[in-house]
Structure 1
Amino acid sequence: MVYSDQHRSISILMLPWLGHGHISPFLELAKKLTDRRDFHILICSTPVNLSSIKPKLPQKYSHCIEFVELHLPHDELPPHYHTTNGLPPHLMPTLKKAFDMSSDNFSHILRTLKPDLLIYDFLQPWAPSLASSHNIPAVEFFTTSAAVISFLVHHLKNPNVIFPYPSIYLRDYETKKFSSVLESSANGIKDVERALLCSDRSRNIILVKTSGEIESKYIDSLSKLMEKKIVPVGSLVQDPMAQKVAEESSIIKWLTERERASVV
């Protein structure tokens, strides 16, 4: 797509983690941004992920939201496993390693597309570093709630201090699992180290999938912990009307044939 110098859309490249629970909020954020401003969004992921995400994009966004393929090395992991969807749990470190090894391919994408901004996820600290090397600002986007993130970051930065909001706590059996999550790693780097590096490298702000009306105190807490402005972007729930008529599933068609109030 070519833009004139007089009216050039702001180009935003998005790089979510390779799970649908992350890609879907990025897609909803892309829709929200293009609804409000003249943005051109490029969502970057592996072909196997994009093949399932593309059908979810309504036609009205086809001119302003595009998809960019990111190819991972497949020496240890075949392309159909370049996603968390259906991935055997023991291969998760291998997927993270392959994702890390795609950084050169991602650098080529940055160099070719020259976006005005990169919005990235929580497990790829190399992404904002590469963007910086191309003079592209980068901002992190958390697809989980501010309460969860603030609890985690507080635990990491203040391990001996009780979380100030007692309604959020871990039961004894949860503590052990929580500790194992903190110790998980790939390529010799713990996930928590990746997450903290990603947040440190975000340019002044961090986007969070939440709203101030629901999580104001956790947003404030997270802002102090991160020493950055936290920007809530809403719940990003998919519009059910976007799937109407032409995209009706066989289940919906079957339900419409039933008598009113006859099906539970």
Structure 2
Amino acid sequence: MAETKQQLHIAMFPWLAFGHIIPSLELGKLIARRKGHRISFISTPRNIDRLPKIPPDVAPLITLVKLPLPHVDNLTENAEATMDVPHHIIPYLKIAHDGLQEPLSKFLETSNPDWIIHDFAPHWLPPIASRLSISRAFFSIFNASSLCFIGPPKFPLSASPGTTEETDLGKRTELEHFIVPPKWVPFPSKIVYRPYEAKKLFELIEANASGVSDMFRLNMVYLGTEFLAIKTCMEVEAEWLNLFGELLHIPVVPVGLLPPSPQEGNDNKDSTWDTISEWLDTQEKGSVVYVALGSEIRPSEEDFNELALGLEQSRCPFFWALRKSAGGESVELPEGFENRTKGRGIVWTGWAPQFKILGHESVGGFVTHCGWSSVTEAFQFGRALILLPFIGDQGLIARFLEERQAGVEIPRKEEDGSFTKDSVSQTLRLVMKDAEGQIYRDKAKEMTTIFGDKELQHRYVDKFVELLEKHRRIINKG
């Protein structure tokens, strides 16, 4: 007799950053839409209120759960996500996040989900979920090559004796260790940090104001999870996914690239899109460079100036989505910049619908900070990439893309990461116009066959959910 399929209840708890929240919500929507399972999506009140509207076909299956963020010194009243605070205040946001331990525990006790799909930050969560017999999956928005570079946990889950020394991130104590591929990568790779990026990496390894380091959080989550779900696919990085599975000794499951659905843009902001599209409609096909460095990047005044002057010097039409920083500090455009580029370029300081802009046929290239979600969006439309990474895994993603000739990085000084208007201008012209840059434009178009194939990507979600279903059936029988 055929086994009756049971509806699962899945709780989702992303880190308090929209680069984590949105992919997590996208995964939740796909699980609900394709498999009919119930989702409890957990975040803070203001973050929940800022989410895109849940489509009517899945709204009955998704419950948005608001857990108030505890008050913490150094955090302003409305700061509930990383985009709301300057970079140096993020450790205090982690303190507030850790304060969600008790209300989250109560929610899990009373709602009794089958699974919790969580992020890297709640190092305290696995023991709580285990005590309540709730299965655990860590959902990583970081791609497999970046996770491989960072390395497996300090205490391998079931590694054979003697392997700890080889794979212990703690053994990489000098800057020189991070500018070469790690010993555990068995194939040729150029995915490394530059010296100026490696200096910043030590912030992740050392304990911050929250009392623990980001590496401690990640290690504890690795050690306490049953599956690692990762926002990537075999067609993009099979060798890295296979390697990471060997390093972690737990199932590493690609859930696809989670491309956002175009019909799910912010409806209430359509007048914004009308204004932007009106300008884009006047530009030649494939001529416009879209410039957006994400909601959390705060370039120095010097970097900001060189980027602006490089854009001007390139003579490329551009649309620059320039958001005011959370700390309130404003950066000034070079004097006369907007007058000199009038008609050829637009500096847009409000909210900009990135997915729709990238989808417009006049856009040919994208100056990006190399956030994995932004890369995913750009490749759905075959947009050539000009790479300008700043923090975290962005440098590793830039090397990953360059290795595949899927983007070109703006040249910078190895020691301090500075760049010039000339390097910006030359890279823009190479990727957008020059004959020798055709390879990058072709490669970007080629990427649409993977990144733009919705059915291929959705099959990954289906396989992941089948694993969740099968695992719970085994537990329930046991």
Alignment correspondent of 1:179: 202
Name the aligned partner's letter for residue 200 of structure 1: L
Alignment partner of 1:44 out of 42, 45, 68:
42
The alpha-carbon deviation at position 241 of structure 1 amounts to 2.2
Alignment correspondent of 2:94: 96
Deviations 1:42-96 (A, max 9, x none): 110011111101x332222211112101122114234411211221223211111
When residues 228 and 7 of structure 1 are mapped into structure 2, their CA distance, relative to the original with a 3 A threshold, is: closer
Give the whole-Å Cα distance in 1 for the aligned partners of 2:143 and 2:124: 24
TM-score w.r.t. length of structure 1: 0.88
Paired positions, count: 256
TM-score w.r.t. length of structure 2: 0.50
**Range with bigger deviation, 250-259 or 39-48:** 250-259
SS of the residue corresponding to residue 206 of structure 1 reads: strand
When residues 226 and 251 of structure 1 are mapped into structure 2, their CA distance, relative to the original with a 3 A threshold, is: same
SS of the residue corresponding to residue 166 of structure 1 reads: coil
Contact 1:9 1:38 in 2 (8 A): yes
Name the aligned partner's letter for residue 223 of structure 1: G
Equivalences for residues 2-21 of structure 1 within 5 A: 9-21=7-19
Q: Considering Cα pairs closer than 8 Å and 6+ residues apart, tell me whether 1 or 2 has the greater RCO.
A: 1
Alignment partner of 2:225 out of 189, 196, 202:
202
Alignment partner of 1:233 out of 255, 258, 266:
255
Alignment partner of 1:147 out of 141, 145, 148:
145
Alignment correspondent of 1:252: 273
**Range with bigger deviation, 161-170 or 8-17:** 161-170
Alignment correspondent of 1:169: 192
The alpha-carbon deviation at position 7 of structure 1 amounts to 8.0
Alignment correspondent of 1:3: none
Alignment correspondent of 1:67: 64
**Long gaps (5+) in structure 1:** 1-5
The alpha-carbon deviation at position 100 of structure 1 amounts to 1.0
**Range with bigger deviation, 55-64 or 110-119:** 55-64
SS of the residue corresponding to residue 12 of structure 2 reads: strand
Give the whole-Å Cα distance in 2 for the aligned partners of 1:90 and 1:172: 21
- How many percent identity over aligned positions? 31
Alignment correspondent of 2:244: 222
The alpha-carbon deviation at position 138 of structure 1 amounts to 0.9
Q: Over aligned residues, Cα RMSD in angstroms? A: 2.4
Give the whole-Å Cα distance in 2 for the aligned partners of 1:260 and 1:126: 51
Contact 1:48 1:79 in 2 (8 A): no
**Long gaps (5+) in structure 2:** 155-166, 173-181, 289-478
Equivalences for residues 98-137 of structure 1 within 5 A: 98-137=96-135
Contact 1:103 1:127 in 2 (8 A): yes
Alignment correspondent of 2:212: 189
Deviations 1:208-250 (A, max 9, x none): 0000111111111111111111100011121112238x55611
Name the aligned partner's letter for residue 215 of structure 1: E
The alpha-carbon deviation at position 252 of structure 1 amounts to 2.6
Deviations 1:166-218 (A, max 9, x none): 22112222221222332252432111011011011111x21000001111111
Contact 1:116 1:136 in 2 (8 A): yes
Give the whole-Å Cα distance in 2 for the aligned partners of 1:259 and 1:28: 28
Contact 2:10 2:115 in 1 (8 A): yes
SS of the residue corresponding to residue 92 of structure 2 reads: helix
Larger radius of gyration between Structure 1 and Structure 2: 2
